[in-house]
Structure 1
Amino acid sequence: MTRELLPKNLKIGFDSKKLNCKTTEELAPLEGIIGQDRAVKALKFGLNIEDDGFNIYVSGYSGTGRTTGVKEFVEELARSKPVPFDWCYVNNFKNSYEPDAIKLPPGKGKIFRDDIKNFIDSVRQLLPKTFESKDYLDKKDAVIKDIEVEKEKLLTDLNKRAQDEGFVLKTTQIGLFIVPVIEGKILNEQDFLTLGEEKKQEIQQKREKINNDLKKIMDLVRDLDKKINEEIKNLNHNVALFTIEKIIDDIKGKYKDIEEVTDFIEEVKDDILKNLEIFIASAAADTQAQIMFPWMKEVPFKKYEVNLVIDNSDLNGSPVIVEQNPTYQNLFGRVEKEAQFGVLTTDFTMIRGGALHKANNGFLVIPVEELFKNYFSWDSLKMSLKNKKIMIEEAGEKLGFITTKGLKPEPIPLDLKVILIGNPYYYSILYMLDEDFKKLFKVKADFDLVMDRNDENIKKYASFLCTYCKKEKLKHIEASAVARVIEYGSRLAEDKNKISTKFSAIGDLVSEANFYAEQEKSRYITPLHVLKAIDEKIYRSNLIAEKIKEFISDGTILIDTEGSKAGQVNGLSVMSLGDYTFGRPSRVTVSIGMGKDGIIDIERETKLGGPIHTKGVLILSGYIADKYSKDKPLNLSARVVFEQSYGGIEGDSASSAELYALLSAIADIPIKQNLAVTGSVNQKGEVQAIGGVNEKIEGFYEVCKVVGLTGEQGVIIPESNVKNLMLKDEIVDAVRNKKFHIYQVKTIDEGIEILTGIKAGEAKPDGTFKKGTINFMVDSKIKELSEKLRELTKSREEEKE
C-alpha cells in the first residue's frame, strides 16, 4: 500500500454549482436548527411533555448557536400555544401587608386597571359635588333641625322647672350651670355666702335636685348629638351609595365572570363608604404641605390602584423569555421602596414582576453559567419549580438579615418550562451533586460541535449565511465564496466529512469578509474576501508563531530539516494562544546506555510532563518489552527528552516520535531529519489518531519554507487522521508539485521504514527477525546490552570475592 498521500487526500473542496444560485441573495432564509437532529428531537419531547420535572438542559459549547437556535425553536412552538393570563396585585383591605393577586384573561389586565382608575377619578369628582348640592344640604339641615328642636325643647322645659324653683340656666364656655335667683337677682358666690344657713340649705337641696335633672337632660342631649352624627353618617352613606352604585354595578357587570375582581370591587366600595371624608376633602383647597409636595394629595387614593404586574396583551402565543442576567430580583421580582421625608416606604403598587412572572405558562431560557453566579437564584428556582409558586421575597429575608416588617405578596401559581443552557461539564456536576436537578431537569438536549457534510446540511448552511447577511445587513455572498466558507467550516470541524456548528465563528468570518468587500466597493463578498478575512485573522494573532519560526531560522531553536541522525527526530506539537492555535516542530532526542533504569522520561523527572504525556512514555516500555524482551531481560537505560522545552508538556501525540527516536538510538540507525512525525502509539505498535493534525503539518511546512524547501521534506501522520485533513491550498499545491510530502502510517514498523529507508522486518515464528532489518538490529542491540551487563555484573561479583 502506498504510504504517501495525494493532493486529493489533503483537502476536500466544494463545487459551488451544487448550490444552484449565484449569490446567497437568491436563497431562502434559514428555518429551524441546522444539523442538530438529536438535540431537536430531545427539545420536541421536553417541550411537549407536560408531566412534572421534564424541564430541559441544553448541553453544548458556546458559539454553536445554542441560545439563538433554542429561542427560535421554542418561539415557533410557543406561537401555537394559548396566550396566558394577565396578573395584577391589588390592596388587601383586611391586611395591607399581604397584597392580593388577581388573574385576568390576556389583555384584560390593562383594561381592568384603567377601569378602576377611571372609577376612582369619577368618584373623586362626583362625591364632592353631591355633598355640596342643595338637595343634600337641605336633607342634612332637616336632620339637624329636627333634632336641634328636640334638644331645644328639653333645655327649655328644664329651664322652666328651674325658674319655678328659683333658679336659671346659665351657659358658659365650659357648660351649663344652675344659678339661684332671689327677687329677680342672680346670686353670685358672695351673695350666696351672706344668706342664712337655713336659706342656703334650702337652695342647696333644690339645686341638687335640678342638677340631677340637668344631668339626665344633658345625657339626652348627648344622645341627640350622637343621633345627629349617626343620621348624617347614614345620610352620607346612602347619598354616596346612590351616587356611585350605578358605576359600581356597571364595572361588576363587566367582570361578573371573575369572582376575584367582583370581590375586590365590593371591597373598594365598602372602603370608599367608610372613608368618604378623603373624597370630600380632595375637592378642598390644597394645604401648604400639598402645595409643596403635590404627590401627597394622591397618597390616600393609592390603595385603590391596580398594579398590573404582567400584561400579555401584546402576545400571540405563550411567552418565551431569555434571562441573560438571572439575579434573584430579575427572576422572582422585587418590592421597590421610595424615600419620603427620610423614611423608606413601600406598598403593593411598588411590586415588580420578574422573569418567572413574564414566562409563566410559557418558556424560560437561562444560561447556567450566569445562574450559578447567583446562589439564591438557583436555590429559589428549584424551590419554585417544586412548589409551583412564585413568591416575591427580599433576598435578605431568606437569610434573616431584614427584621422590619415588609410586604408579603400573595404567591402566584407557577406553570412553565425552564430551559437551562450550559456546557457538558456543568451538566455532569449538577447531575452528580444536586439531587433536585435530577428530579427537575429530566431532559437533556445535546448540541454537537459538528454536523454531517451532506447536501441537505450544506444547503441549510448556505441558507444560514443568507439569513446572517440579512440580519446583520451585510453584503450577500457569491456562491464560490460560500464554497470557501463551507471549506472553512470543515477545517474548524477537523473532518472532511463534517462541518462545524460554531456559527458564531462562521458569522465572524462573514462579517470580516464583508469589511474587505466594503473597502473594495464590491457588490458581493467574493472568495478573495473570505480568504483575506482568514489570513488577516491569523495575522492578527500569530506573532508568537512568527517569532518561533524566526528563532528556528537563525538557529536559536535547533531544528534540522536536512540530513540524518540517530536517536533524534522532529516531533510535532500544538500551541494554543486562546484565539489562535498553531503547530511547531520540536527536537526529540534519546540517549542509550547500559543499565537497568529502563526508559526515563526527563520531562517527568523535572515535573514538566503532564500525566497523559507520562502515560505515553510508559507505553514505550510496554512496546519494547512486548516486541523484543520475551526471551531476554530488558537491560538498558534510555533517556527521552523534548529539547529546548522550558514549559509544561502534555498529551501523548508525540509518543510515536519518541518511539522512533528510541528505536533509532538502540539500533544506532540514523533518522531522516527532513521528516517530522506526529501520532500516539499503543503497546502493540499501532499508531493512533491525534488532534491538531492540520496545524502540525502546516507548522512544519512553514519552518521548511523559511529554511528552504528541498523537495524531500514532509510529515508522517497516523492513517486514522487522513479524514481530518483540510490543509491550506499552498500546502496542497506544494504536495502536487513534489515540494512537500505527507505520509500515512498505521504502525510503527511502517513509520520507521519511511524515516530510515530500511525495512522494519516481520517477526519469524521463533520470535527472531530477518537480518538487516530495523527490528533485527534493535533486538540484537538489546541482547548485546543485556549480555554486556550480565558479564559486567559477573565480573564485579568476582572482584568482590
Structure 2
Amino acid sequence: MSVTTQRKLLPEQLRWTCDPGQFDFATTDELPELEGTLGQARALTSIDFGLDIRESGFNLFLAGEPGTGRTSTIKNILKKKARTEPTPSDWVYVNNFKTPDLPIALALPAGMGTELAKDMSELITAVRSIIPKALDSKEYETNKSTIIEAYQEKNNELFGKLEAEAKERGFALQRTVSGLVMVPQKEDRNYTQDEYEALSDAEKEKLEEVGQELTEKLNDVLRQVRDNEKLTKDSLSQLDRDLGNSSVGHHIDPLREKYGDNPKVVEYLNAVQEDIIANLEDFKPQQPVQSPIPGLKFPRQEPSFERYEVNIFVDNHDAQGAPVVFETNPTYSNLFGRIEHVMQMGGTATTNFTLIKPGAIHKANGGYLIVDAREVLVNPFSWESLKRCIRSAEIKIEDPLEQYRFITIATMKPESMPLQAKIIMIGSPWIYYLLYHLEPDYRKFFKVKVDFDSRIARTPEVLKDYALFVSTHCKNEKLLPFDRSGVAGLIEYSARLVEDQEKLSSQFMEIADLIREASYWAGKDGGGPVTHAHVANAIEQKVYRSNRIEERMQELFDEGTILVDVAGEVPGQINGLSVISLADHTFGRPSRVTARVYLGRAGMVNIEREVKLSGPIHDKGVLILTGYLGGKFAHDKPLSFSASICFEQNYEGVEGDSASSTELYCLLSAFSGVPIRQGIAVTGSVNQHGMIQPIGGVNFKIEGFYAVCKAKGLTGEQGVIIPKSNERHLMLNDEVVQAVRDGKFHIWSVETIDQGIEILTGVAAGEKGADGTWPEGTINHMVDMRLKQMIESMKKFGASDKDDKKQD
C-alpha cells in the first residue's frame, strides 16, 4: 500500500452523523419541555455558589458569547429560587415636618405600605370633617369666650384702677395716635395752652412729677396687659390643642397601636398629630377673598393636605418571594430613581416627596437585579453609582448633574435606603477581562465569574436535552414539531458550528433560528413534521441569502481572473487555503503560493512582509521555516541562499500561520526541483521540527477548494492535505463527503512535513542515515545537494571577486 493511500481519510471520518434511531419518539410533540439548562455544568455550579453566598462583594458576572443562554438561564434559575425566599419590605416616603427637604423613608412589612397610605388618607378625610365641626361647637365657643372674657375683665380692672387714681390726682388716661398717655386736667377737661402757660413753675413741676409717676404706673399696667394677653393666647392654644387631641387622638391612637412594632412609623404619626394641631386653621372652612371691585368675590385657595400623603415607593403586596428585576435600559434614572418636577404657571418647577420615583435597584432590593454590562458602562453615571451603592450598601437618590452646575438648585435629598440585593451583570468575555484588568473596584464587587462556554461535550444526555430543547421551542413558539431525523440534522448542524465531532454548539440563538427556519420550510412543504431534508434546506437557504460575494469570487476562479491550477505539476508552486469571514457568512478560498530560490545571502524573503501586507503571526510562521531548514540541513554547512515567497494575486492583508506548512512544501519543491501536484491544496501550520500543527476553519477550506475543483472539473486526483490533529474537526457537507466516497475527491491527514511532501510530489522524503546523509533520489537528499551546490557556487563567486580586487 502506497504512502498516499495510507494517509487518505475514509468517508466515515469526514463528518459525524447523528443516528436518529437513538431517539425514542416519533415527533417532539411527545416530549416534555426542557427543564434547566443544556450543558454548562461549570456555569451552573458558579451560579449556585454566587447566589447562595451572602457575604459582601459576591455579585455575579455572567461571561459568555451572545446566544449561549446566559440570560434565559439566570432568569429560569432565579424564577424558581426567588419563590422560596422571603418577600422584602415595602418602602414608602413620607413628609419630614421638621425639614421638608429631607423626606423620610419608612420600611414596612410587605403589603403594609398600601395599608399605611390608606390609613393616612382615611385619617385626613376624617379629621377634615371632625375639626371644623368641633371648632363650630357651642362648647368650644363657650370655652373660648370664657377665656377671652376673663382676659378682658383683668384688663378692665387694671385700667379702671389706674383711671381712678389718675382722676384723683388730676389726670386722665387718653388714647392718642402714639398710644395711651396720661394728660393733666382742670375741671374734668384738658388744660388749654394758655392755662398751662399761666401756671407757675412750681405748679408745672408738680404736674410733671405726677404725670411721670402715673406714666410709670401706666407702663406697669401695659406690661401686665401683655402678660395677660400671652397667658390668654396660651390658654386659647391649649384649648385648640385639647380640641385637636380630642378630635384627632382617637383616630391616630389605633394607628399607633397598629404600627407599634415600627418605632419610626409611630414617630411619624406623632409628627402628623403635632402638625395637624399646629395648623387647625387649615381645616376651617375657607372664606372667599374680598375683591377690591365691589360685589366681586374671589374664591380662597384651599390649603394643601398633600403633606400628609404617603408615597408608596416600593410596593410588594402582590409579590411572591424575592423580586427579580431585569433592567434592559440601565440609565441612571432607571437604575437609581429620580425626583420629578411639576411646571407651574410662570415656568417655575416645583417638587415634593410624592414625586420621588423608584429605580430598578429599589424594586430589586431584597432580591436580584440583572443588567447588561455593556449598557451599564455606556450610560453616563450608571457604573460609578452602582459601585457606590455596593460599596456603601445603601441606595441614594441624587441628581447626578448637580456637581456640574454653576448655580446650586434647591432640591430634596430623600433619606437613603439600605441595599440588600444580589447584582448580576451579563456581558461578553472581552468586557469581563477589560473590567478585571482596568477597573480597580471591579474585583471587590463582582467576585463570582460565571463562565458560559460556546461549546459543550457531546454525550447521550446532552443529545436527549437537545431534543427537549427543540420540543420547548416548538411548543412555546407554536412551530411545527420535529421528527427524529429533523432533530438529528439539527444536532449535526450544531457540531458543524463548532467544527468538532465530539462537541456541540451552545450558541442557542443560532440553533433556535434554524428551528424556526426549518419549521417555515416544512410549512411550505405541506405542514408535516420537520425532517432532516427540511433542516438541510433551511441551512442551504440560509447560506444562499448570504453567499453572494462567495459566488462572485467563484466566478473569478471560473473565468481565470484568479489563477489557480487544479491539474498538472509545477515546481515551486502550490495551492494554499484561507478563510474569509464576512459578518454572517464564512467561506474558504484557495490561493496560489509560489517560491523562488537563488544564490544570495538574503535568506528568506517574505514578499507580503516587505510590502506590509502580513501580520505578525504570519511573519512568525515564515521565520519558523528558516529554523526548520537550518535545523535539518545546516549541521555540516552554513545556509547561504536567497528565497522569496509570495501569495499570488493577494491584494489584502495576510494573517495567521496556517499557511506555514504550505510555504515550506513550496520551498522544498523549489530547492529540489521536484514538481508539486496542483490538484492538491494544503493547510496546516508547522513548527521548527517539521511537525504539522492544527488550524482553524478546516471545513470551509476544504469545501472552498472542492468548489473550485468541481467548477474546473473533478479528475479523481484532487484533494486537500490537512493536519492529522484536525481530523476530529471535520464536519464536511454531504456533497464533499459523497465526492470522497465516489473517489472523485480525497482528504489526506499528515503529522509531519515529510509525510506531506511525499503526497504532493509522489517522491519519498527520505530518512537521514547514521552518516548524516539522505538516500539518493529522495526529496531531502535533493534539497541538501542543492544547498551544497549553492554554497559552492557562492564560494567560487567569492574567490573570483577576491582575484578581481587583487588585479585592480
The 8 Å contact of residues 33 and 73 in structure 1, kept in 2 or not, is answered as no
- Structure 1 residues 246 and 524: CA distance shift in structure 2, 3 A: farther
Indicate the larger mover: 396-405 or 456-465: 396-405
Distance in 2 separating the partners of 1:222 and 1:432: 77
2:467·2:487 contact (CA, 8 Å) conserved in 1?
yes
In the alignment, structure 1 residue 330 sits paired with structure 2 residue 330: no
Displacement of 1:573 = 0.2
Q: Match of 2:275?
A: 271
Deviations 1:433-482 (A, max 9, x none): 33432333322221111001111111212222222233334333333222
Aligned partner letter, 1:111: E
**Corresponding residue for residue 778 of structure 2:** 773
Contact 1:192 1:200 in 2 (8 A): no
CA deviation vs aligned residue, 1:645-700 (integer Å, no higher than 9, x gap): 11111001111111111111111111111111111111111111110111111111
- Give the SS at the match of 2:86: coil
Check the 8 A contact 2:290/2:298 in 1, yes or no: no
SS state of the match for residue 427, structure 1? helix
Instruction: State how 1:553-702 maps to structure 2 within 5 Å.
Output: 553-702=558-707
Matched with 1:87 is 91
Deviation string, structure 1 residues 502-556 (Cα, Å, up to 9, x no partner): 1111112222333334445515444343323222222222121111101111111
Tell me: CA distance 1:375–1:798, structure 2 relative to 1, closer, same or farther (3 Å): farther
1:393, 1:293 → 2: CA distance? Answer: 41
Structure 1 residue 96: Cα displacement: 2.8
Deviates more, 1:476-485 or 1:257-266: 476-485
Spell out the pairing of 1:203-282 with structure 2 (5 A cutoff): 211-280=215-284
> What code does the residue aligned with 1:83 have?
T
Equivalent runs, 1:404-553 vs 2, <5 Å: 404-520=409-525, 522-553=527-558
User: Which of 55, 78, 81 is matched with 2:82 structurally?
Assistant: 78
CA 1:693/1:287 → structure 2, altered by over 3 Å: closer, same or farther? farther
Deviations 1:576-624 (A, max 9, x none): 1111111111111111111122211111111100000011111111111
Opposite residue 151 of structure 2, the aligned amino acid is I
SS in 1 for 2:284: helix
CA-to-aligned-CA distance 1:255-275 (integer Å, 9 cap, x gap): 111111111111221222222
Contact (CA 8 Å) 2:92, 2:312: kept in 1 or not?
yes
Q: Which of 312, 317, 325 is the aligned partner of 1:321?
A: 325
Q: Specify the code of the residue in structure 2 equivalent to 1:46.
A: G
Q: What secondary structure does 2:110 align onto?
A: coil
Counterpart of 1:141?
A: 145
- Paired position in structure 2 for 1:61: 65
State yes or no: 1:733 paired with 2:710: no
Moved more, 428-437 or 80-89: 428-437
* CA distance 1:163–1:449, shift in 2 (3 Å): same
Pair 293,347 (structure 1): closer, same or farther in 2 beyond 3 Å: farther
Aligned-partner Cα distance in 2 for 1:449–1:490:
11
Structure 2 residue corresponding to 1:354, chosen from 356, 359, 367: 359
Closer, same or farther: CA 400–170 of 1 in aligned 2, 3 Å: closer
The Cα offsets for residues 412-447 of structure 1, whole Å up to 9 and x where unpaired, read as 222232222222233333333334323333222211
Q: Hey, what's the Cα distance between the residues in 2 that align with 1:4 and 1:510?
A: 36
Q: Could you tell me whether the CA contact under 8 Å between 2:159 and 2:221 is conserved in 1? A: yes
Partner SS, residue 321 of structure 1:
strand
User: Where does residue 294 of structure 2 map in the other structure?
Assistant: none
| Alignment of 1:49 onto 2:53 | yes
Q: Separation in 1 of the partners of 2:33 and 2:430?
A: 34
Do the aligned partners of residues 691 and 753 (structure 1) sit closer, same or farther apart at CA in structure 2, a change above 3 Å counting? same
Aligned counterpart, 1:15: 19
Query: What amino acid does structure 1 have at the position aligned with 2:387?
Result: K
Describe the superposition over 1:82-123 as per-residue Cα deviations: whole angstroms up to 9, x where unpaired: 112222222333333333222111222222222223222322
Give 1:707's aligned residue: 712
Offset at 1:355? 2.7
CA drift of 1:58 comes to 2.1
**SS of residue matched to 1:583:** strand
Equivalent position amino acid for 1:532 in 2: N
Query: Are residues 1:131 and 2:130 paired?
Result: no
Paired AA for residue 430 in structure 1: L
CA–CA distance in structure 2, aligned partners of residues 524 and 335 of structure 1? 56
Which one-letter code corresponds to 1:599 in the other structure?
A: M
Is 2:116 aligned against 1:112?
yes
- Correspondence list, 1:23-42, <5 A: 23-42=27-46
Q: How high is the sequence identity, in percent, across the aligned residues? A: 46
1:135-181 per-position Cα deviation (integer Å, ceiling 9, x unaligned): 32232223223333343444445455555556665567875566676
**What are the ranges of 5 or more consecutive residues in structure 2 without an aligned counterpart?**
292-296
Preserved CA contact (<8 Å) 1:567 1:661: yes
Structure 1 304/523 Cα, relative in aligned 2: closer, same or farther at 3 Å? farther
Q: Is the 8 A contact 2:127 2:248 kept in 1?
A: yes
Q: Which amino acid aligns with 1:762?
A: E
**Greater displacement, 489-498 / 347-356:** 347-356
Whole-Å separation in 2 of the counterparts to 1:202 and 1:429? 102
What RMSD in Å do the two structures reach over aligned CA positions?
A: 2.8
Asked whether the 8 Å contact 2:374–2:427 carries over to 1, the reply is yes
Deviation of residue 325 (structure 1)?
2.8
1:396 Cα deviation after fit: 2.9
Could you say if the C-alpha distance between residues 413 and 286 of structure 1 is closer, same or farther in structure 2, counting changes exceeding 3 Å?
A: farther
CA contact (8 A) 2:766 2:780 kept: yes
Distance in 1, matches of 2:166 and 2:299, equals 57
Q: Provide the residue aligned with 2:373 in structure 1.
A: 368
Aligned to 2:791: 786
Counterparts in 2 of 1:371 and 1:698: CA distance versus 1, 3 Å: same
- What SS does structure 1 have at the residue aligned with 2:55? coil
Shift of 1:38: 0.9
Structure 1 pair 152/293, CA: closer, same or farther in 2 (3 Å)?
Answer: closer
CA distance in 2, matches of 1:138, 1:413: 53
For structure 1, which segment, 672-681 or 43-52, has the greater mean C-alpha deviation from structure 2 after superposition?
A: 43-52
Alpha-carbon distance between aligned partners in 1 of 2:772 and 2:529, rounded to the nearest angstrom = 67
| Unaligned segments of structure 1, at least 5 residues | none
Instruction: Report the Cα distance in structure 2 between the residues aligned to 1:28 and 1:401, rounded to whole angstroms.
Output: 63
